[in-house]
């Protein structure tokens, strides 16, 4: 059976990520143990809360360099995706630096509430095994106040007053700004794609 490590980043959504994987027949280990994370065949970095707090927790467990040096596929979810970038304006904190770019607060505006909470459409920017079988315009469930920029690493975007990266990917590193574990069949498909993908 494939070994999947879910990094214990202290986020409140971790239980639901584990449960979503269980529904797919995947027995994932929730861990902050560096050797267990290194030995896993897939790594998931979930997160809910503030970037500075999450980075401090990763530092505390000695996991920042561990995550940076991983060679197996990794998926960041929500805040976990934002932590993949160079920097977050949330707490003005340096992040993992696996993807170039700065995470900024959503601006909002008339009729545009922040935080962004609810279902929103995904617009594909490029083909990726992570998005195989996910229809253009498929809806996913978002809860966030900060967002990553649309760069060459954006696999799909969404819009809430402004365009932002909804799914990202570069090499072994992937991220979803929305919550796959709360996004019904679309989220289940993305998790299944991540577990089953083969990288060149």
Q: Which residues are catalytic?
A: 78, 179, 181
- The answer to whether 130 and 155 have CB atoms below 8 angstroms apart is yes
Q: Which of 106, 111, 89, 118 is nearest to 163 (CA)?
A: 106
| SS3 label, residue 168 | strand
Tally Cβ neighbours within 10 Å of residue 185.
Answer: 10
Tally Cβ neighbours within 10 Å of residue 127.
Answer: 9
- 175's CB contacts (< 8 A; 6+ apart) are 75, 76, 77, 80, 81, 82, 84, 99, 148, 165, 167, 168, 169
């Amino acid at each position: 059976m494939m070994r999947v490590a879910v990094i214990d980043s202290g986020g409140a959504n971790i239980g639901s990520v584990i449960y979503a994987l269980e529904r797919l027949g995947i027995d994932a280990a929730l861990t902050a143990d560096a050797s267990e994370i290194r030995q896993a065949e897939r790594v998931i970095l979930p997160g809910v809360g503030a970037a500075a707090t999450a980075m401090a927790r990763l530092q505390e467990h000695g996991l920042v360099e561990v995550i940076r040096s991983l060679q197996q596929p990794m998926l960041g979810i929500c805040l976990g995706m934002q932590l993949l970038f160079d920097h977050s304006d949330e707490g003005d904190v340096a992040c993992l630096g696996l993807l170039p770019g700065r995470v900024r607060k959503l601006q909002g505006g008339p009729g545009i509430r922040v935080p962004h909470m609810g279902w929103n459409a995904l617009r594909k920017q490029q083909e990726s095994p992570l998005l195989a079988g996910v229809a253009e315009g498929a809806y996913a469930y978002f809860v966030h106040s900060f967002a990553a920029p649309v760069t060459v690493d954006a696999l799909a975007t969404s819009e809430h007053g402004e365009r932002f990266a909804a799914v990202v990917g570069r090499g072994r590193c992937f991220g979803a700004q929305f919550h796959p574990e709360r996004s019904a069949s679309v989220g289940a498909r993305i998790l299944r794609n991540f577990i089953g993908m083969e990288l060149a």
